[in-house]
Structure 1
């Protein structure tokens, strides 16, 4: 019996969504799937989701929206995505908030992405990202310190802060692997 093939397509601006996608790929592999990771900013040509048994799409939130190129990918392939097992993972700092209203904003952005793209994935996960001060330029570092770090008190720009709930990512991925393998 051939191995279940899963496309993990993602957009990442500062690298945390790439790390999440890589972990998803690793977990899928341990679950017996053949995972292919593709950064959608530079996809291979042609990229045909129809040749995969399932698709996981990941995107990060910046300035209140997900990457346009991820949105474009989903719109271009929505018919295929809506006909096979799929999942969407949204990575944002809002998901790391202790404030329920801010965490709700992360969920609203995820729902808004699905509404804009007319995509109905089988599963969704809103997961916290990271503050990677060491990778930011001066302006971005100061902006993120003010916007992202202030709320949690993580304002020491000499170090990075990771908020991703890796157990949630693993659990979500194992559940998806069961779904795609049972198809």
Structure 2
């Protein structure tokens, strides 16, 4: 069994949902996984206490959460000494038209922090029209119509591929198991998905 830290930042909760799915998948494989919301002020998180670290961030107005950037920058030495992964949640990843832009966000994050994770994944985010204030709802409807044609802007929409999130966690777990000489568990890959 390996210990995993899943440190993430979230703006509207979708990255937290992805982190929870990753933690559940790692747990299904027999590992000890802990999710920590870095944007909620978890300054006392110490990456050296874990065998592997996954970092997640959402993109809003082209930027990742400052708290996540700071965490990775501050913990870069600890991150470079263990297996790591980065997952990004954005609307850009919700459509084929935005894949290149989403990749640019990841490249920018890695460049800004000086971190080179072992694994990277990009997941579509969500539109929570029911939770937005008037101006945000109006702006997000305009963005959705331009970037995600056909999306019903009268209701909330989720674009995360949950199978891909679980597959990503399985891939990271297998990588860590290989690095630490841990026998792969006998888990049905289709369980719970």
**What runs of 5+ residues in structure 1 fail to find an aligned partner?**
none
Give a deviation string over 1:89-115, Cα, whole Å, max 9, x none: 01110111232xx21010011011011
TM-score for both structures, normalised by structure 1: 0.92
- Structure 1 residue aligned with 2:139: 143
Report the alpha carbon displacement of residue 152 of structure 1 after superposing the two structures with TM. Answer: 2.2
The secondary structure found in structure 2 opposite 1:57 is strand
Report the alpha carbon displacement of residue 168 of structure 1 after superposing the two structures with TM. Answer: 1.2
Give a deviation string over 1:150-174, Cα, whole Å, max 9, x none: 4323554431111111111111110
**What runs of 5+ residues in structure 2 fail to find an aligned partner?**
181-193
Report the alpha carbon displacement of residue 82 of structure 1 after superposing the two structures with TM. Answer: 1.0
TM-score for both structures, normalised by structure 2: 0.88
Residue in structure 2 matching 1:173, options 169, 173, 176: 169
| Count of aligned pairs between the two proteins | 179
Maintained 8 Å contact 1:131/1:149? no
Maintained 8 Å contact 1:154/1:161? no
List 4+ stretches of structure 1 deviating above 6 A: none
- Cα RMSD after superposing both structures: 1.4
Distance 2:34 2:128 in 1: 26
Distance 1:128 1:8 in 2: 18
Maintained 8 Å contact 2:39/2:65? no
Residue in structure 2 matching 1:160, options 156, 160, 164: 156
